[in-house]
Amino acid sequence: MINKALLLFCSLFSVASLSMAQNTYVSAGTNDTIRVAAINVNGEIMPWIVLKEVVVADYRRFATKEDYDRFRRLRYNVIKVLPYARFAGQRYRQLERDLATTSDKRKQKQYVKDCDKEIKDLFNREVKNLTISQGEILIKLIDRETQHSSYELVRDLKGNVSAFVMQSVAKLFGHDLKNKYDVDQERDIEAIIRSTGYYSYQ
């Protein structure tokens, strides 16, 4: 008899607790819920969220040790110059935004001058110490970041004469400022960039 009464009491207590929990959930404030987007699929509302892209890559195997060493050098060089290319892309996009805010030729000229000074300061401080291979990669990555070759950027900022002079100097060191970035041709560089978790400025 006592066991039955105890069992009945426990059951009632459990029901009461569940009821209170349900009431507590229902009366929760608006800040206690997670809002997500939803879509109607055949009359059923289905929530959805956007997840970050997950890249699945196979382990790379190299035919020879020379191939492996060559890839390691390429990876080192790409990672070394990538911050400079990103800076160039960010600074160029900032310049485009600044130029779009005014039609005042004097202000536009000052914006270009400021941008040129920042790039020169970076060059004199760090970029000038890059190797020839790193410089060649940097030229390609600048095109990847800005969708403009280094030659086009110099021409737009400094004029045709400066672009010609810079191209001539670059040629002396085995570079071509008109080099464009081709994802299909630069599959190793693109794979290295993606392995760092960086895709593009967008």
**Per-residue model confidence as pLDDT tens digits over 87-110:** 888 888 888 888 888 888 888 888
The answer to the question of residue 32 being in a domain is no
The answer to the question of residue 37 being in a domain is no
Q: What percentage of the chain reaches a pLDDT higher than 90?
A: 8
- 105-109, 117-121, 189-193, range with the lowest pLDDT: 117-121
pLDDT at 8 over 50: no
How many whole angstroms separate alpha carbon 50 and alpha carbon 66? 42
Q: What is the mean pLDDT of residues 136-143?
A: 84
Query: Do 139 and 175 touch, CB atoms closer than 8 A?
Result: yes
The answer to the question of residue 23 being in a domain is no
Q: Look up the pTM and report it.
A: 0.62
pLDDT band at residue 32 under the 50/70/90 scheme? low
The answer to the question of residue 105 being in a domain is yes
> 84-107 burial, b if ≥16 CB within 10 A, otherwise e?
bbbbbbebbeebeebeeeeeeeee
Query: Do 190 and 149 touch, CB atoms closer than 8 A?
Result: no
The answer to the question of residue 116 being in a domain is yes
The answer to the question of residue 80 being in a domain is yes
How many other C-beta atoms are found inside a 10 Å radius of the C-beta of residue 202?
Answer: 3
In sequence order, the 6+-apart residues with CB closer than 8 A to the CB of 131 are 77
Which residue range is the domain that position 97 belongs to? 65-195
- 89-103, 140-154, 181-195, range with the lowest pLDDT: 140-154
The number of domains in the chain is: 1
